[in-house]
Amino acid sequence: MNANGGDRVLEVRDLSVSFRTGRGVVRALRHVDMAVPRNKIVGIVGESGCGKSTLINSVLRLLAANAVVGDSSTVLFRGDDVLRMNDRQLRAMRGQKISMVFQDPMTALNPVISIGTQMADILYRLDMTAAGKRERAADMLAQVGIPDPMRRLDDYPHQFSGGMRQRICIAMALMMNPALLIADEPTTALDVTLEAQIIHLMKDLRARFECSMLFVSHNLGLIAELCDEVVVMYAGEVVEQGEVHDLFHRAKHPYTQMLLECDPARIEKASRALPTIQGSVPDLIDLPRGCIFGPRCPKRYEPCDASPPGTYGVNAIHSARCFQVRDA
């Protein structure tokens, strides 16, 4: 695990989540260990369906009704286990201590409630006058770069552009000055210029608000630019994690290596076809016996088919779930 432990805002230990469906039990997350240290940005990267969303939904306990969480799983937020909180504790945590920026700003805001009301509602726990809450909301809008915020409080979401709406969502996330901010692919729905602006804004806000961040993305470039640590996920498992530069320059897991090769931004030699990873994500109902990545792995050898690999340290700040790291 990571060396700079102790002062961790979020610590996920042995998290397993399954979904009961008509076809069988989908084992969406299996034995996930990861942590977010104070004042750090941790990036989670992986293909769609790798369990990123299930992981963050578990942290906020926003899982669907058919989800089953493993008995030995814990999600410690500042020492308290989120998975064992009651409704009151959960509500006290959500939005107040952990807040979230969603993927699609076009659908994340309620279309029939003015943004001023939506923002003020987040402060419902505070003993503040309505005018005070509005002022606070306007102040936050100003911080994220919305011009003329006091007047725009009475506007409805459809009166803002996509980039503006994502700024509003970020402002809402920071309203309660949370200890942890979870951003679920916050720029995927935006075009490239807006993406750069939002990333810039997040870096800027991080310096000002001193909160830790869990940043989910499938864009390796963004992760490299913004994050301090990276967690690479594949088919419901953490396959590699570590300090951002170390991991990107010395990727050990074949999946991470291939992911880096597939990133269009990193392709150096001109090629007609984009490199892709052969095969497809395994069926999470009927798992392979050995390594989860085995069926698609170009470097597979005997131990891989026999049993799943454990997590082996590459160095003090970097680990991977691959027999080659153990045998290296």
Partner 1 sequence: MAGVTASDAGTPIRRESRLSWLWQLLGDPLGAFGLFLVLVVVVSAAFADVLAPYDYKALDVKARLGAPSWDHLLGTDNLGRDTFSRILHGGQIALYVALVSIGASLMLGLILGMLAGYGPRWLDNFLMWIFDSVRSFPVIMFALAVITVVGPSLETIIFVVIATTTPGYARIARASTLATKNTEFILAERSLGAGVWRIMFSHLVPNIVQPLLILCSMDIPVVITIEAGLSFLGLGVKPPTPSWGSILNDGFGFIRNTPWLVVAGGIPLIVTTLGFTFLGEALRDVLDPKLKKDR
Partner 2 sequence: MLLYTVKRLGLAILIVCLAMLMLLSAIHMVPGDPAGIALGPRATPEMREEFRALMGLDRPFFVQYFKFLANVMAGDLGVDVWSKRPVSTMIGEQLPHTIALALVGLGWAILLGIPMGCFSAVHRNSPLDKLTAILSVGCIAIPSFIVSLYALLLFAVELRWFPAIGAGEAGDLEDQFVHLVLPGLAVGLGWVGYLARFVRTSMLEVMGENHIRMARAYGLPTRRITYIYALKLAILPTVALLGVGVGSLISGAVFAEIIFARPGVGKMVVDAVNTRNYPIVMGGVLVTTMLFALSTLISDLVAAWLDPRIRQSL
The Cα–Cα gap between 12 and 31 comes to: 9
- Three-state secondary-structure class, residue 152: helix
Indicate which single residue of 3, 5, 21, 250 sits in contact with partner 1 (rule: CB under 8 A).
Answer: 21
Applying CB under 8 A, does 66 fall inside the site for partner 1? no
Tokens of 95: 């939005």
Applying CB under 8 A, does 96 fall inside the site for partner 2? yes
Q: What is the 8-class DSSP label of residue 264?
A: G
Indicate which single residue of 6, 23, 79, 111 sits in contact with partner 1 (rule: CB under 8 A).
Answer: 23
Nearest to 50 by CA among 237, 257, 186, 255: 237
Applying CB under 8 A, does 93 fall inside the site for partner 2? yes
Residue number, 57 or 217, with CB nearest to partner 2: 57
Alpha helices, H only, 189-239 = 192-209, 220-226
Task: Give the x/- contact pattern for partner 2 in 50-69, rule: CB under 8 A.
Answer: ----------x-x-------
Task: Give the x/- contact pattern for partner 1 in 264-293, rule: CB under 8 A.
Answer: ------------------------------
The Cα–Cα gap between 58 and 161 comes to: 31
Q: Kindly state the helix (H) or strand (E) to which residue 136 belongs, with its residue range.
A: helix 130-143
Minimum CB separation from partner 2 for residue 113, in Å?
7
Site for partner 2 in 183-212 (CB under 8 A): none
Minimum CB separation from partner 1 for residue 26, in Å?
13
Q: What are phi and psi of 297, to 5 degrees?
A: -85, 125
Residue number, 28 or 277, with CB nearest to partner 1: 28
Residue number, 23 or 289, with CB nearest to partner 1: 23
Task: Give the x/- contact pattern for partner 2 in 245-284, rule: CB under 8 A.
Answer: ----------------------------------------
Minimum CB separation from partner 1 for residue 39, in Å?
44
Q: Which does 21 bind (CB under 5 to 8 A by kind): partner 2, partner 1, none?
A: partner 1
210 Cβ neighbours under 8 A, 6+ residues apart: 39
The Cα–Cα gap between 169 and 211 comes to: 16
Site for partner 2 in 100-129 (CB under 8 A): 100, 102, 104, 107-114, 121-122, 124
Residue number, 75 or 281, with CB nearest to partner 2: 75
Applying CB under 8 A, does 64 fall inside the site for partner 1? no
Q: What are phi and psi of 134, to 5 degrees?
A: -65, -40
The Cα–Cα gap between 294 and 207 comes to: 41
Q: Interhelix angle for 130-143 vs 162-174, to 10°?
A: 120
The Cα–Cα gap between 162 and 268 comes to: 32
